[in-house]
Amino acid sequence: MECFMNQTVHPLTPPLLHLSPPHSCGYLPVSDAATLFVETTWPMNPLLYEWLLQRGFRRSGSHVYRPYCSACNECLPIRLSVRQFHPQRSLKRVIEKNKDLSVSLHPAGYTDERFKLYQRYLQNRHADGTMANPKPEDFSDFLLSHWGMTLFVEFRRDHRLLAVAVVDLLPHSLSAVYTFFDPDEHARSPGTLAILWQVQYAIEQQLEWLYLGYWIRNCRKMSYKSRFQPLEVHKMQRWQPFSLIEKNDPMTMGFPSSPS
């Protein structure tokens, strides 16, 4: 962490952005989803990526993007203030029922064991989606980046791998990239457990934020994220309390043509 401390960044040259052709949405039945991508030749690194996270972007592999849909503004970037977080009783129960697990931190990378778990998870949870039937190269292309500081958090019981949380370590924050787990262990709430672990790790590393990707009000698969408070959402080019969303705030995201 010493290489990150007390550093701030503002790129001398804003990134060039590319808009994808319209495509089907993986979460909601909208007609014309689209994605804004950062030019891949832009000199990305953890400092600059955090600058983009603060502006609502996210990564998939080494590609950095954010939704940019003409008819829909439902994908809201969210982040958690880890130092203000206090778990509800239900979240404490998740910790309690997983006390038999061991947790270890590893450099990001492909292994056959991780890939088999990833494969099982996608076949169970996303069998009808674009991520179904992954190949080993799909695992690496989605979870790893050549410019990031990515870690794999492994959750095991009696040496058996039950879940893996993929996280990016950044100057002032963690970013939750993805979590995959044994579908037979869903009663343990592995996704929730992974976030709880990340909160604690961020606090130990004296970080401020845990970025949790996007939240969509009417997407059941994302509903668990709202259990972690106090959340902030990125709308109208600034971060605002999640409570505004709960009050059915009608504001749109107001994406600019390039980040400022």
**Where do the domains of the chain lie?**
17-81+218-246, 83-204
- pLDDT for the residue numbered 9: 62
- pTM surpassing 0.75? yes
Q: What confidence tier does 251 reach under pLDDT thresholds 50, 70, 90?
A: very low
Q: Is pLDDT above 90 for 91?
A: yes
Residue 259 pLDDT > 70: no
Per-residue model confidence as pLDDT tens digits over 138-158: 999 999 999 999 999 999 999
Rounded Cα–Cα distance for residues 234 and 242 (Å): 9
Q: What integer is the mean pLDDT of 10-14?
A: 75
Half-sphere exposure of 14 (CA within 13 A, CB side): 9
As its CATH architecture, domain 83-204 has 3-Layer(aba) Sandwich (3.40)
Q: Which residue has the higher pLDDT, 218 or 62?
A: 62
Round to the nearest angstrom and report the end-to-end CA distance of the chain: 27
Give the pLDDT of residue 260. 27
Confidence of residue 31 (pLDDT cuts 50, 70, 90): low
